[in-house]
Amino acid sequence: MEKSIITISREYGSGGRSIGELLAKELGIPFFDKDIIQMVAEKSGLSAGFIEKSDENLPNTFLHNLKYSAYSTYDSISFYDTPVTDKVFLAQSAVIKELAAQGSCVIVGRCADYILREEPGLVTIFIRGSQKDRVARAVGQYGLPDEKAVDKIKKIDKSRTNYYKYYTNRQWGNIDNFDLAVNTSFTGIDGAVAVILTMLRQKSGE
């Protein structure tokens, strides 16, 4: 297979992380999700705990200038007035670009589809599902109480929507920004992996 950098954006509870892991295993390529946090910590000098709390969450400020975020290079963190959460995003962007430069891989979340938008081998995927199925997964696999699952789904989806908009000026989940959108309520997890593999094979002409 030709070089493919596969980014997976996902609604909470849709199974996007599981799909990414299985896809990477099928393709025999690296998978990156939470381990990016430690890489960012090493690059930025910030604690992994702080970065994890900042992950896909907006800074506590209404002041935002794109020259300090999506359009900046990592060197921009030297500016004394750059918000620390923007520094995290810049460091994260640098790590994601480094991972993509190393070869084929699967990256989950973190605006990777936007950060790598100039990458020739980029394949962008969005994973969604019905609220009923997402609640069932949140309860059965993530261990959330029934009464809190719906609120948790709404809260995290809203956080991801705002974070993505803040750093990309794009609408999160807009299918125009993705090569493929998969509804796991129709395909299931294994079916979603099969759909993506079929698309990749078609893309590479296999």
H, E, C per residue of the chain: CCCCEEEEEECCCCCHHHHHHHHHHHHCCCEECCHHHHHHHHHHCCCHHHHHHHCCCCCCCCCCCHHHCCCCCHHHHHCCCCCHHHHHHHHHHHHHHHHHHHCCEEEECCCHHHHCCCCCCEEEEEEECCHHHHHHHHHHCCCCCHHHHHHHHHHHHHHHHHHHHHHHCCCCCCHHHCCEEEEHHHHHHHHHHHHHHHHHHHHHCC
Determine the residue type at 105: C
| Residue 118: band (very low, low, confident or very high) from pLDDT cuts 50, 70, 90 | very high
- Percent of the chain at pLDDT > 70 equals 85
- Decide: 49 and 63 in contact? Cβ < 8 Å: no
Q: For 72-84, what is the mean pLDDT?
A: 52
Give the predicted TM-score (pTM) of the model.
Answer: 0.86
Looking at the domain that runs over 5-199, which CATH code has it been given?
3.40.50.300
What digits encode the pLDDT tens for the residues 132-181? 999 999 898 888 888 889 999 999 999 999 999 989 999 999 999 999 99
The end-to-end CA distance of the chain, in Å, is 8
| Residue 98: band (very low, low, confident or very high) from pLDDT cuts 50, 70, 90 | very high
Six-digit token string for 2? 């030709």
Half-sphere exposure of 134 (CA within 13 A, CB side): 22
